[in-house]
Structure 1
């Protein structure tokens, strides 16, 4: 059943209703087949883009919708409650646009942002490498300046939309000065020498293509560098705070979807002459699931409201990501338990929800990294 949301404006309430309508018409009918066949749903992103949902948190003057982050995240949650792969994709796309919006020149923003935010182009984010995940400062991919071009070489692992995106926000080393030697580039998908390895064969989120991107002497004009040389890691880390809120909202959406499926089943399935939801043992399990989902939502909204108010929110984003993804793993596992043997089959979506949430404890910074960030703020 629809979440009872307290939205800040009438416009935002209308936006939630629009999202729910698109989710019901365009996402729910396609999700099962696409996830089973590992098909990337590019047309779904185009639909969301044309509806204005890919640029929600960006200003209208650059092609966005000018919505507060608390509104954007609740739209993201609604999308993820039906299709986690698409929810993750929308979050990654927003993250891929962040460096251009915050560090791009006015000319760069005028040239590229409108198509990126309007749904005509889909983005990807290249930070991690096979040996440099939680420690991005250890990256080895290089960008060497030759005249008015940089030559990029190396490989970027775990790229969401790898091989499917139209542009890649890439972090590469421009000097050997540790974390201060990394720069940020906006690389078009058709750049010569850029290729994607075979997609990863993943446990979940199979409708979201994840691949290693290979940079074989890819030439990128200087005009496609975002910010100055050496500013790449701060650009990346600043974007990750917002990206963690995106993943918190996605995880909450998947948990909500699992809770809805469990409640629906418990109302219909009967044992000992009455619906199983009336048995106290199971009713208490559902109550704990509801409390976990509401707690996750409240946590990410609290962080989002700090962001909207211009306050520091990094620690709160880590708390939200930690709480929402840990809760989602438990809620989806409990949903399988509510359905019993039926929950372990692919006749119901709860087994997929359970598989999808595990990776949310890993990407955008593992939950162990989130605990480090939170603890650092307590010193």
Structure 2
């Protein structure tokens, strides 16, 4: 980003996000203060076009906001990650009024893609959509929707109404009659991200709520949603790695063996573990920045980077989080050290569709010259 938005974001995080982060985790409360701060800064409309009142910034800028948030609050980072995914699809395919609502920060979005029946195969919805005059009737069991009770609009996938293809995308208001949220969220980590199953029973929306053409949902997910999702998801992992490493260094540098008049960091084994944490964090940051450059520059290897960065960041975050717990020892189990919460938050990325194992298969196919789907 070329202006002083990051300085302003840093101030907002210090004033609004940092004070609530531990409580969001402790109580499972939604990070409302984060959303309000980003709304005031115009960052909810970061990737919306300037012609509709947005900032007109890049996918990389969105990912950098998520990474900075993740250093403080993993739940905030995930909520904003999913908003930017929805915002990208809305900006590309929705009507002008909806685009303006997102650009102004009035509308918080999220994705409603994952389903119980197709599990990590997010591209293959079992949800149905049938035409009824100038309306469409939706029936579905969505397995996880971030901000399920707080987003204003879901970007929703279903099977096509009539066309050939795998899926179709729709804009569905959260308060549409026939939607039911099965919550609250009671997960291991990211406890404030309000992720919950949502079912649709005879939900009626206008046919004009469709994003793109009937049957084009797969291409929209792969071409528009997947790149920003993997960049922002990896950003969340990277931000957590950054904070775990910093917290571990601070603890080991300050924690003392009083009877020996030495610190934990005086032990070569501890320093070696900290070095591994720093190296893994730096490696992912380099790959992440290169992935941003590949996607924004339209490089031939862009799709490979899209697949690689989420898998690499998720796995590295697991390693760094485990090492953080190891080097901080029993103290790591105390919340005030700052490792335990982030350790739990770091577990989610590897099992969030597309899961790491699915991505490994995709990457293997890609480098062997095989079709991905």
TM-score range normalised by the length of the shorter chain: over 0.9
Structure 1 residue 183, shift from structure 2 partner: 1.0
Counterpart contact for 1:181–1:229, Cα < 8 Å = no
Give the 5 Å matches for 1:260-279: 260-271=246-257, 272-279=260-267
Separation in structure 2 between the aligned mates of residue 318 and residue 58 of structure 1, nearest angstrom: 25
Give SS of 2:271's match.
helix
Match of 1:361 in 2: 350
Q: Provide the residue aligned with 1:151 in structure 2.
A: 137
1:234 corresponds to 2:223: no
Matched, 1:218 2:207: no
Give 1:175 deviation, angstroms. 4.7
What displacement does 1:133 show? 2.2
Q: List per-residue Cα deviations over 1:280-337 (Å, max 9, x = no partner).
A: 2111111111111111111111011112213352210221111111111111111111
Answer yes or no: is the 8 Å Cα contact 1:183–1:233 preserved in 2: yes
1:1-379 equivalences in 2 (<5 Å): 9=2, 11=3, 14-104=4-94, 108=95, 110-175=96-161, 180-238=165-223, 239-271=225-257, 272-312=260-300, 313-379=302-368
Mapped contact 1:174–1:181 kept (Cα < 8 A): yes
Q: What SS does the corresponding residue of 1:165 show, helix, strand or coil?
A: coil
**2:312 & 2:126 partners in 1: Cα distance?**
32
**Using the alignment, how far apart are the partners of 1:228 and 1:176 within structure 2?**
11
The 8 Å contact of residues 46 and 119 in structure 1, kept in 2 or not, is answered as: no
**Residue pair 2:127, 2:159 contacting (<8 A) in 1 also:** yes
For residues 304 and 102 of structure 2, the distance between their equivalents in structure 1, rounded to whole angstroms, comes to 29
Write the distance in 1 (CA, Å) between the matches of 2:114 and 2:9.
32
Unpaired segments ≥5 residues, structure 2: 369-373
The farther-off stretch of 110-119 and 258-267 is 110-119
Q: Does the 8 Å CA contact 1:49/1:117 hold for their aligned counterparts?
A: no
Determine the C-alpha separation between the residues in 1 that align with 2:93 and 2:295: 18
Report if aligned partners of 2:227, 2:295 keep a CA contact under 8 Å in 1.
no
**Counterparts of 1:136 and 1:280, CA distance in 2:** 45
- Secondary structure at the counterpart of residue 336 of structure 2: coil
Q: Tell me how far apart the structure 2 counterparts of residues 78 and 247 of structure 1 sit (CA, whole Å).
A: 12
Gap regions ≥5 residues in structure 1: 1-7
Is residue 28–residue 83 contact of structure 1 (8 Å, CA) maintained in 2? yes
SS at match of 2:43: coil
Preserved contact between residue 48 and residue 87 of structure 2 (Cα < 8 Å): no
- Offset of 1:176 from its aligned partner? 8.1
Deviation at 1:221, TM superposition (A): 0.3
TM-score, scaled to structure 2: 0.93
Deviation at 1:138, TM superposition (A): 4.1
Shift of 1:177: 7.5
Shift, 1:56, TM fit? 2.3
Residues 50 and 118, structure 1, Cα contact 8 Å, conserved in 2? no
Deviation string 1:86-118 (CA, Å, 9 cap, x unpaired) is 0111110010122222233xxx0x211122233
Q: Which moved more, 1:363-372 or 1:303-312?
A: 303-312
**More deviation, 58-67/192-201:** 58-67
SS at match of 1:205: coil
Secondary structure at 1:377's aligned position in 2?
Answer: helix
- RMSD of equivalent CA atoms: 1.7
